[in-house]
């Protein structure tokens, strides 16, 4: 099925699939270089259809079927895309399900539009990763090459190398959420695998400690990896969404 498209104020065209249903709706926010055709997004969409729940999945610009090249984008652009999609395509507060980078995007949406957030489910959420993981992990030679050439290729377990641009790193410093207070007055459920090689457990613990709000829970899943997409993990994601909805 061909996606629908949304033109944003920044003249970016976002591809999306929307399922009508009861609110609060659920919005899936994917990870870096991921897209809306991933296992977790499709599993949640199938659950939403069975439950009669409104659901939205979309591709950030430079991802999947949306316009633009990945190397043109940055965290701030993708957060703008998320806000545009939520504003234009949903009604009322939404449960944000953020996977990896999507967890950072969800935090930015919650900070900018708190009234539109009915809850947050983070799956291996990776706030501030451009600074705390990428830049902090670069050697001095890699940092120098990044500054001089404007980009750096990082190997990936998920396909072609990631081309990380200087703009992504520098913009990321304007989007950090772990350096200043971050309150979410809605249920928060954080899911983190202990065998995640991309986002360490310490990130989940730091986010748990940093977030302020009345109902915040972290669940560690022994042996789960970053994909968090086997049958047991998918069931945990659905259970977390249902728990958030029950307490929203």
| Of 100, 128, 171, 198, catalytic | 100
**Residue 162 predicted with pLDDT over 80:** yes
Active site residue 198: no
228: left (phi over 0), alpha (psi -120 to 50) or beta: left
Active site residue 35: no
Beta bridge partners of 122: 98, 190
Active site residue 226: yes
Class of the CATH-defined domain 4-127+181-247 = alpha beta
> Would you mind telling me the total number of residues written for the chain in this entry?
248
Q: What's the half-sphere exposure (Cβ side, CA atoms, 13 Å) at 189?
A: 22
Q: What is the pLDDT of residues 75-129, one digit of tens each?
A: 999 999 999 999 999 999 999 999 999 999 999 999 999 999 999 999 999 999 9
Q: Give me the residue spans of the domains in the chain.
A: 4-127+181-247
Q: What is the pTM of this model?
A: 0.96
Q: What is the pLDDT of residues 41-65, one digit of tens each?
A: 999 999 999 999 999 999 999 999 9
């Amino acid at each position: 099925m061909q996606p629908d498209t949304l033109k944003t104020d920044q003249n970016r065209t976002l591809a999306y699939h929307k399922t009508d249903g009861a609110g609060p709706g659920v919005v899936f926010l994917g990870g870096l270089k991921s897209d809306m055709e991933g296992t977790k997004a499709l599993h949640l969409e199938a659950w939403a259809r069975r439950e009669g729940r409104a659901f939205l999945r979309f591709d950030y610009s430079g991802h999947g079927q949306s316009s633009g090249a990945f190397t043109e984008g940055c965290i701030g652009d993708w957060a703008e895309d998320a806000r545009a999609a939520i504003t234009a395509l949903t009604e009322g507060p939404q449960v944000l399900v953020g996977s990896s980078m999507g967890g950072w995007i969800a935090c930015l949406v919650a900070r900018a539009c708190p009234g539109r957030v009915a809850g947050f489910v983070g799956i291996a959420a990776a706030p501030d990763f451009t600074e705390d993981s990428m830049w902090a992990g670069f050697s001095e030679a890699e940092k120098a090459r990044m500054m001089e050439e404007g980009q750096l290729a990082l190997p990936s377990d998920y396909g072609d190398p990631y081309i990380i641009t200087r703009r992504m790193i520098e913009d990321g410093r304007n989007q950090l959420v772990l350096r200043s207070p971050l309150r979410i007055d809605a249920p928060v459920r954080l899911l983190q695998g202990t065998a995640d090689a991309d986002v360490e457990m310490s990130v989940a613990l730091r986010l748990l400690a940093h977030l302020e709000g009345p109902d915040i829970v972290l669940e560690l899943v022994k042996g789960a990896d970053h994909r968090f997409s086997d049958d047991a993990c998918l069931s945990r994601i659905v259970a977390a969404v249902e728990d958030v909805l029950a307490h929203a």
